Amino acid sequence: MAGGRRRGRGRGRGIRFSKLYSFSCIRSSLREDRSQIGQKGYTRVVYCNDPDNPEAVQLNYRGNYVSTTKYTAVNFLPKSLFEQFRRVANIYFLIVACVSFSPLAPYSALSVLAPLLVVIGATMAKEAVEDWRRRKQDIEANNRRVEVYKNNSFCVTKWKDLRVGDIVKVYKDEFFPADLFLLSSSYEDGICYVETSNLDGETNLKLKHALEETSSLHDEKSFQQFKAVINCEDPNEDLYSFVGTLSYGGTPHVLSLQQILLRDSKLRNTDYIYGVVIFTGHDTKVMQNATDPPSKRTKIERRMDKIVYILFSTLVLISFIGSFFFGIETRKDISNGKYRRWYLRPDDTTVFYDPQRPILAAFLHFLTGLMLYGYLIPISLYVSIEIVKVLQSIFINQDQDMYYEETDKPAHARTSNLNEELGQVNTILSDKTGTLTCNSMEFVKCSIAGTAYGRGMTEVERSLIRRNDRPHEFGDISSDFQGDNGDVDKGKSIKGFNFRDERIMHGQWVNEPHSVVIQNFFRVLAICHTAIPDINEEGEISYEAESPDEAAFVIAARELGFEFFSRTQTCISLHELDHKSGRKVDRTYKLLHVLEFKSSRKRMSVIVKNPENRLLLLSKGADSVMFERLSKEGRMFEAQTRDHIKRYAEAGLRTLVLTYRELDEEEYKAWEEEFSRANTSVAADHDALVDAACDKIERDLILLGATAVEDKLQKGVPECIDRLAQAGIKIWVLTGDKMETAINIGYACSLLRQGMKQIVITLDSQEFDVLRKQGNNEAIAKASFESIRKQIMEGNSQLSSTKENPVSFALIIDGESLGFALNKNLKKSFLEVAIGCASVICCRSSPKQKALVTRLVKMGTGETTLAIGDGANDVGMLQEAHIGVGISGVEGMQAVMSSDFAIAQFRFLERLLLVHGHWCYRRISMMICYFFYKNIAFGFTLFWFEAYASFSGQPAYNDWYMSFYNVFFTSLPVIALGVFDQDVSARLCLKYPLLYQEGVQNILFSWPRIVGWMLNGVISSMIIFFFTTKSIIPQAFRRDGQVTDFEVLGATMYTIVVWAVNCQMALSINYFTWIQHFFIWGSIIFWYIFLVIYGSISPTVSTTAYRVLVEACAPSVLYWLATLLVVISTLLPYYSYRAFQTRFRPLYHDIIQQKRSEGLEIDDTRNELPSRVRDKMHHLKMGLRRS
C-alpha cells in the first residue's frame, strides 16, 4: 500500500497491523478479565467450523432469527387489550359497557359500547400498523443472503439459518449477519475496515485485524482442516469490550474487540472477509442494546391523572347525592298506607324502585348514577392527546428554521410524549465539546523550545479583550509582531489548519535559533498517531484519524513541511524539509510499536527507528501526566511551556505536550521482552501488566513543546445562551476541560456575563499539592472534604448577603471537588448554592459525574431538566434528565439515538424551547383544561335534570346524543386547538423570551387555573339547564299551543351545549386558521345534520329523536331564540373574567397581544402597564435575576 491507501483497489498488501499493539479496543469502563473465562458470565463455547459437534448441539444456542416486533399474531389481541386497559378511564368505561346490558343502565348498551370500541379500536389499529412495519423490516433482514461454509465449499444461505460456529464469507459493502470472529480478509495480513454507523452512528471507518495465526486462511481448502474452540463472555450489551480466548493449534490466543465484527456494521474498503459466527440473533450486541429507553412522563400527564381521579371522586359524590335523595323520596312514597306519588304505582314495583326497601333501591340507583354521570370522564381524551402530540412532532420535524443545510439534518422529535415538557424547562445541563463547540479542531498555535508561535486571535481571546478592555493581554501569545490584527491569510482555506506565523512557515523555521527542536517537534506530529493516509485519483492526500485532534496534528505537520504520505506494515514515510539543504527529502521510519491513547494513560507513544538507525520514543499527552515524566536534562523549556499552556487554556484552546527520547538497544530489547509477556498474558491483571510496561518506557523524556488547537464555538451559541438566560432558564455546562478553558469559553458564549460574581470551588492549591506529594490518601480525602464543605458554606454566605440587592452569580467547580460535593453529606448544600446561581460550570467532569449531577438537579429541585450532548459520554446524562436532546455532530450518533429530540446545532435549542416548547405547553394545557370543561358542562346538565326529575335516574338526552358528544360533536375543535393555536408568533416568542416563564411556573396548568375551568364548566351547566327550563317549559313551544315535552327539552338543551362549548373554544383560540373555523362551525352543523338523519329513522331506533328537529324544534321561534340567548349567557362569565384579567391582571402573553393589536413593537413593557402589572413584572424579573 505504498503511497497510502488508495480507493478502488483490489486485494491489497497493506499494513500488517497485527504486528502492532493497539489500545484502541480498550474503550469500555469494564475491566477485561480473561481469568474469568469459564466462570459465571464467561461461559460461552464456540466450536469453530463444527456447529454439528454433539457438544455444540447440546449447548442449544439461539438461532439467528431476529424479531423486533412488540406483538405476534397469537398475542396481539390479548396484549394490546391489556395495554389499553392499563388506563383507569378505559377500565371504567369497560365496566360501564358491561353493566349497561343490565336493567341498571339508564341508556342502551350499544350507545355505550360503540364509542369505547371506536377509541380502543383506533389505538389498537395504530399499534398494529406500527408493528407491521417493524415486522416487514424483520422479514427483510432475516432473509438477506450470505455465503456459509458447508460440505467443504461455500454456499448461499439466509441470515436466519446461520448457527453458532459457522464460517461465513462477507463481501465489500455488505452487512455482517451476526457477531463474527474475524479469521482473515482480502488483505494479506488480515485487516479490514468497518463502518459502525448503524451501531453508534460514527461514520469514520474502524480498523479491525485478524490474529496472525488465522490470517493465512484464504480459500476453501484451508478451511477443511480448520478446527478451533473459542471460550468467551456471555451475550451482553457492551459494544466496546470483548473478552475471550481462541484455542487453535494447541495454543491459547487472547482475543480483543479488534477481532470482533458486530452485526449490522458494514464491511468497507475490503473485498471480503472470513469470520466465525460467535453470537446469533438476540444474543448479538446490537440486539442486546435494543432495549426500551427509560420511561419518561411529563408533569402535565402526572397532574392529568390526578384530575381524572378528582373527576372520579366527583362522579362518586354526585352519584351518592342522587342515590341519597332518591332513597328519601322513595321511602316517602308510602306513608301509613297512603300513596304520595300514586302515578308511580309504589304498590307494584321492581327492586329498582321499592318504597318497602328504600336502602336497596338507593344502592342500585347509586350504580345507575355511576353509569349516568360517566360523561364527566372524557373517553376520547387520551387518544386525542396522542393524535395532537404526533402532529406537533411533525411540525417540529418540518421546521425549516431548525434545518441544518450543511449536514442536511432537520430537527427530529424521536418521541412525541414530551412535547409540552419542552415549554417547562428550568435547567439546561450541557456538554461543551461538540455541543457548544463544533468539535472540528484547527491547529492555531504552538509553543516550541519556549517560544510561542501562531498569529491570529481566537473567539475567546476577543471575548476576554472586550471584557477586560485590555487589547494587549495576549500580545505575546497571539503574535510577536506589533500591529497584527489577528486576521488570517486570504489564501486557500485548509480544514484543520488555521496557523499563521512567517517565522516557521514556508520553510523559514530553519532560520530559528532552535531549528533542531522545531524539526523534532513536527516529526512527532507527523509520526506519533494512528491516522491512515488516503490518496484520491487526483493524488491529493487526506487522512482518516480516530479523532479531529489527531487529524489536525497530521495536517499541521504536512503544511509545515513534514508530510506523512505512506504507511506500511512496519514503516511510516514522510516528505521532510531538510534543515541543512533546504530541500524536500523522503525519510522512512521503521515502526516498531504503537502505544495508543487510553483515557487512564492520557497519552500515546510510538517507538520508531530512524534512517540513521537510532531508536526513538515519540510521545504526546496531557500536561498533567507529561511534565512529571521529563528527565532533568529535558526540562530546559518547562517554565516557558507551562506559562504558554496556561495562556492557551485561558484562550479556550486544547493543549497537548510533545516529548521524545532516544533509546539504547539493550534497554529497548529488555523492555520489548517484558511488554511482549504482558501483551500475551491471559491473567486477570493483563491490562495492569501492559500499563506498567508502557509506564517503564515512557520516562526520562525530553520536552519539545506544546500544541494548541481550537474547537470553535458553533454559530449562534452566545446569542442562544443569552436568550435562554433571559427566559429565566438556568444553564449548567458539564465539561472535561480545564477550569481556565471552561471559564473563558463561558465568557465567549455568554454563559458568564459582565457583572456576574463567581463562586469558585476547587482543590487546586499549594496546601493540597504538599499533601499529594506526601501520598497520605486518607489525609488528602479528609482535608479535601473539609475544604469543599467550607467553600460551599462560603458560597451560601455570598448568596445570602446579596438577597436584598440581587446580583447574578456563577458557580465554577472542578471534577475532583465535584466528587466530594456529590457526597451524600454535602450534596444538599452544594445544590442550594448551585440553584442560587444563574450559571454553573463543572470542569473535568467524567461521564458518570455528568449523570449524577443531572440526577441531583432533577431530584433535588423537582423542576424540569434538559440535558444536551453529542457524544457517547453524554448518554447517561441524556437518559437521566427529564428531556434528552442529542446533537447530531461529528462524534457519532449515540447521543442522538439515546435522546428524545435531535437537533444539528446548539442554536436550534432556542427555537425548540422558546417557540415549539412554549406553543406545545400552551396548547396541551389549554386542550386538557377545555376537555374537562366541556365534559363537566355536559355531565352536570344530566345531574341538574335528574334532580329536577326527583333523582329518577332518567337521562336528559337520547342515548346516541350522549355517545357522540365526545366522539363527533366536540372532539375535532379540541384537536385543532392542540395543533394550531398560537398566543403569539414565533418571532415574538424569540423577541420576548420572558414569555417562556409561563411554562416554567406552570401558570397555564396550575391548580387554580384547572379548578377555574372546572368551575366554569359547573356554572355553564347551571346556566344551560336552568335558563333553558325556565325559558321554554312554562309556555307554549309550538304554534298549535303544545308545551315543551321531554324530547324537545333534551334536543334544545343538547343544542345549546354543543353551541356553548364550541363557541367557548372560539373565545379561547388566539390564532385562527381555516381548519379551526371548519372544525368548530362544522361540528355544530354536523349536529343538525345528524339530528335530521337520525330523526328520520324509525322511532324504534331513534326513539326520542324521531323527527324532533324537523317537526318540533326547527319550526319554533322559541327554540332558536332560547338557543341564542342561553348560549350568550353561558359565554358571559368566561368573557367577563378574561376581559377583567386582560385589563387588570394580565399574563405576559396578554401584554404582548395587546401591544401587537395596537400595532406597537415594545422593548420594555413596564412603562406601558398599570402599576400592579409593573410590580408583578418587576418581581418576576428580580426573581429570575436572583436565580
At residue 390, what are phi and psi to the nearest 5 degrees? Answer: -65, -45
Contacts of 1083 (CB under 8 A, 6+ apart): 968, 969, 970, 972, 973, 1058, 1062
Contacts of 603 (CB under 8 A, 6+ apart): 597, 619, 620, 621, 622, 625, 626, 698
Alpha-carbon distance of 288 to 627, in angstroms, equals: 43
Give the 3-state secondary structure of residue 232. strand
Give pLDDT, residue 479.
40
Alpha-carbon distance of 379 to 704, in angstroms, equals: 74
In this structure, are residues 503 and 447 in contact, taking their beta carbons and an 8 Å threshold? no
Q: How far from the centroid of its chain's Cα atoms is residue 587's Cα?
A: 49
Give the 3-state secondary structure of residue 526. helix
Q: Which residue has the higher pLDDT, 291 or 921?
A: 921
C-alpha Rg value of the chain to the nearest Å: 38
Q: How far from the centroid of its chain's Cα atoms is residue 944's Cα?
A: 49
Other CB atoms within 10 A of residue 879 CB: 17
In this structure, are residues 637 and 452 in contact, taking their beta carbons and an 8 Å threshold? no
Helices 739-748 & 459-468, crossing angle to 10 degrees? Answer: 80
pLDDT at 19 over 50: no
Q: Please give the C-alpha separations between residue 489 and each of 379, 509, 652, 1176, in angstroms, as whole numbers.
A: 68, 18, 22, 54
Of 89, 113, 117, nearest in space to 100 by CA: 113
pLDDT digits (tens, 9 = 90+) for 335-379: 666 666 655 666 666 666 667 677 888 888 888 888 888 778 887
Give pLDDT, residue 1.
39
Give pLDDT, residue 351.
61
Q: How confident is the model at residue 751 (pLDDT cuts 50, 70, 90)?
A: confident
- DSSP secondary structure string, 1040-1056? T-PBP-HHHHHHHHHHH
Helices 1117-1144 & 1046-1068, crossing angle to 10 degrees? Answer: 30
Report how far apart the first and last C-alpha atoms of the chain are (Å, whole number).
Answer: 61
Q: How confident is the model at residue 202 (pLDDT cuts 50, 70, 90)?
A: low
pLDDT digits (tens, 9 = 90+) for 940-971: 999 999 888 877 778 889 888 988 898 889 98
**Which residue shows C-alpha cell 319554533?**
1116
Out of 350-354, 395-399, 582-586, pick the least confident.
350-354
- DSSP secondary structure string, 1115-1172? T-HHHHHHHHHHHHHHHHHHHHHHHHHHHHS--HHHHHHHHHHTT---S--GGGS-HH
Q: What is the mean pLDDT of residues 448-470?
A: 76
Of 694, 695, 687, nearest in space to 26 by CA: 687
Of 887, 406, 437, nearest in space to 654 by CA: 437
Kindly report the CA angle at 980 between 977 and 982, in degrees rounded to 5?
Answer: 95
Burial readout 55-90 (b: 16 or more C-beta within 10 A, e: otherwise): ebeeeebbebbbeebbbeeeebeeebeeebeeeebb
Q: How confident is the model at residue 782 (pLDDT cuts 50, 70, 90)?
A: confident
Alpha-carbon distance of 738 to 420, in angstroms, equals: 36
Q: How confident is the model at residue 225 (pLDDT cuts 50, 70, 90)?
A: confident
Q: Is 813 exposed, middle or buried (0-12, 13-18, 19+ CB in 10 A)?
A: buried
Q: Which of 179, 189, 333, 431 is flagged as catalytic?
A: 431
Q: How confident is the model at residue 1179 (pLDDT cuts 50, 70, 90)?
A: low
Burial readout 564-585 (b: 16 or more C-beta within 10 A, e: otherwise): bbbbbbbebbbbbbebeeeeee
Helices 358-372 & 918-948, crossing angle to 10 degrees? Answer: 150
pLDDT digits (tens, 9 = 90+) for 1066-1083: 999 988 889 999 999 999
In this structure, are residues 883 and 867 in contact, taking their beta carbons and an 8 Å threshold? yes
pLDDT digits (tens, 9 = 90+) for 1034-1050: 887 777 777 888 899 99
Annotated catalytic residue 431: yes
pLDDT at 1173 over 50: no
Helix H, strand E, coil C: the string for 632-675 is CHHHCCHHHHHHHHHHHHHCCEEEEEEEEEEECHHHHHHHHHHH
In this structure, are residues 186 and 165 in contact, taking their beta carbons and an 8 Å threshold? no
pTM check: above 0.85: no
Contacts of 266 (CB under 8 A, 6+ apart): 173, 174, 175, 176, 194, 195, 197, 198
CB-side neighbour CA atoms (13 Å) of 121: 6
Give pLDDT, residue 1040.
73
The conformation of residue 601, written as its DSSP 8-state character, comes to T
Give pLDDT, residue 624.
82
pLDDT digits (tens, 9 = 90+) for 994-1044: 999 999 999 999 999 999 999 999 999 999 999 999 998 888 777 777 788
What are the counts of helices (DSSP H) followed by strands (DSSP E) for the chain?
40, 36
Largest CA-CA distance found in the chain, in angstroms, rounded:
132
Q: Is 406 exposed, middle or buried (0-12, 13-18, 19+ CB in 10 A)?
A: exposed
Helices 918-948 & 1046-1068, crossing angle to 10 degrees? Answer: 160
Q: Which three cell numbers stand for residue 151?
A: 460440505
Q: Which long-range contacts (CB under 8 A, 24 or more apart) does 765-772 make?
A: none
pLDDT digits (tens, 9 = 90+) for 754-766: 778 889 998 876 6
Alpha-carbon distance of 403 to 412, in angstroms, equals: 10
Q: Which three cell numbers stand for residue 134?
A: 417493524
Alpha-carbon distance of 483 to 422, in angstroms, equals: 49
pLDDT at 108 over 90: no
Q: How confident is the model at residue 112 (pLDDT cuts 50, 70, 90)?
A: confident
Alpha-carbon distance of 242 to 257, in angstroms, equals: 5
Q: Which residue has the higher pLDDT, 1093 or 468?
A: 1093
As a residue count, the chain comes to: 1187
The conformation of residue 4, written as its DSSP 8-state character, comes to S
Mean pLDDT computed over every residue of the chain: 82
CB-side neighbour CA atoms (13 Å) of 688: 6
pLDDT at 487 over 60: no
Q: What is the mean pLDDT of residues 267-282?
A: 91
Give pLDDT, residue 446.
95
Q: What is the mean pLDDT of residues 636-653?
A: 89
In this structure, are residues 426 and 730 in contact, taking their beta carbons and an 8 Å threshold? yes
In this structure, are residues 1009 and 738 in contact, taking their beta carbons and an 8 Å threshold? no
pLDDT at 569 over 90: no
pLDDT at 1157 over 80: no
Give pLDDT, residue 347.
61
Share of the chain above pLDDT 70, in %: 85
β-strand partners of 916: none
In this structure, are residues 1186 and 806 in contact, taking their beta carbons and an 8 Å threshold? yes
Out of 161-165, 473-477, 549-553, pick the least confident.
473-477
Helix H, strand E, coil C: the string for 131-173 is HHHHHHHHHHHHCCEEEEEECCEEEEEEHHHCCCCCEEEEECC
Share of the chain above pLDDT 90, in %: 36
- DSSP secondary structure string, 172-214? TTPBPSSEEEEEEESSTT-EEEEE-HHHH---SPEEEE--TTT
